[in-house]
Structure 1
Amino acid sequence: MSAYQLAKDKQIFIFELDDVLFPAKDYLLQVYYLFSQFIEYSEQKNAQSILDFMRLEYGNTGTDALFQKTAKKFELKESYQYNFDLLHQNARLPLKLLLYKNMLDFLQELVMERKKIFIVTAGNPEQQLNKIKQTEWNGLEKYLTVFFTDELKQPKSEIFQNILNHNNLSAEDALVFGANKFDEQQSKLINLTYIVSLETYKKYD
Structure 2
Amino acid sequence: MDAYQLVADKQAVIFELDDVLYPEKDYLLQVYYLFAQFIEYSELKNAQAILGFMKNEFEQNGPGNLFEKTAAAFDIDLKYQHNFDLLHLNARLPLKLLLFKNMLEFMQGLVVDRKKIFIVTAGNPEQQLNKIKQTEWNGLEQYLTVFFADELKQQKSEIFQNILNDNNLSTKDALVVGASNFDAQQSKLINLPYIVSLEIYK
Q: Which residue does the alignment assign to 1:100?
A: 100
Q: Which residue does the alignment assign to 2:201?
A: 202
Whole-angstrom distance in 1 between the partners of 2:196 and 2:68? 32
User: Does 1:17 find its partner at 2:6?
Assistant: no
Contact 2:36-2:47 within 8 A present in 1 as well: yes
Code of the residue aligned with 1:183 in structure 2: it is D
TM-score, normalization by structure 1: 0.97
Whole-angstrom distance in 2 between the partners of 1:177 and 1:39? 38
Q: Percent identity?
A: 75
- Structure 1 residue 55: Cα displacement: 0.3
Whole-angstrom distance in 2 between the partners of 1:197 and 1:95? 24
Matches within 5 A, 1:104-143: 104-143=104-143
Q: Which residue does the alignment assign to 2:39?
A: 39
Gaps of 5+ in 2: none
- Structure 1 residue 3: Cα displacement: 3.2
Q: Which residue does the alignment assign to 2:89?
A: 89
Whole-angstrom distance in 2 between the partners of 1:115 and 1:73? 50
- Structure 1 residue 6: Cα displacement: 1.7
Contact 2:35-2:84 within 8 A present in 1 as well: yes
Whole-angstrom distance in 2 between the partners of 1:197 and 1:125? 22
Q: Which residue does the alignment assign to 1:149?
A: 149
Aligned residues: 202
Name the SS of the counterpart of 2:22 in structure 1.
coil
- Structure 1 residue 148: Cα displacement: 0.2
Whole-angstrom distance in 2 between the partners of 1:78 and 1:46? 17
Q: Which residue does the alignment assign to 2:3?
A: 3
Code of the residue aligned with 2:128 in structure 1: it is Q
- Structure 1 residue 197: Cα displacement: 4.2
Name the SS of the counterpart of 1:183 in structure 2.
helix
Deviation sequence 1:45-70 (CA, Å, 0-9, x none): 00000000000000001011000000
Name the SS of the counterpart of 1:202 in structure 2.
coil
Whole-angstrom distance in 2 between the partners of 1:72 and 1:125? 30
Gaps of 5+ in 1: none
Name the SS of the counterpart of 1:45 in structure 2.
coil
Code of the residue aligned with 1:202 in structure 2: it is Y
Whole-angstrom distance in 2 between the partners of 1:93 and 1:65? 22
Contact 1:4-1:201 within 8 A present in 2 as well: no
Whole-angstrom distance in 1 between the partners of 2:51 and 2:136? 25
- Structure 1 residue 147: Cα displacement: 0.2
Whole-angstrom distance in 1 between the partners of 2:197 and 2:13? 15
Matches within 5 A, 1:68-87: 68-87=68-87
- Structure 1 residue 20: Cα displacement: 0.3
Whole-angstrom distance in 1 between the partners of 2:180 and 2:4? 21
- Structure 1 residue 4: Cα displacement: 2.3
Contact 1:90-1:130 within 8 A present in 2 as well: yes
Name the SS of the counterpart of 2:69 in structure 1.
helix
Whole-angstrom distance in 1 between the partners of 2:85 and 2:146? 23
Whole-angstrom distance in 2 between the partners of 1:135 and 1:46? 29
Contact 2:106-2:201 within 8 A present in 1 as well: no
Whole-angstrom distance in 2 between the partners of 1:197 and 1:107? 12
- Give runs of ≥4 in structure 1 deviating > 3 Å: none
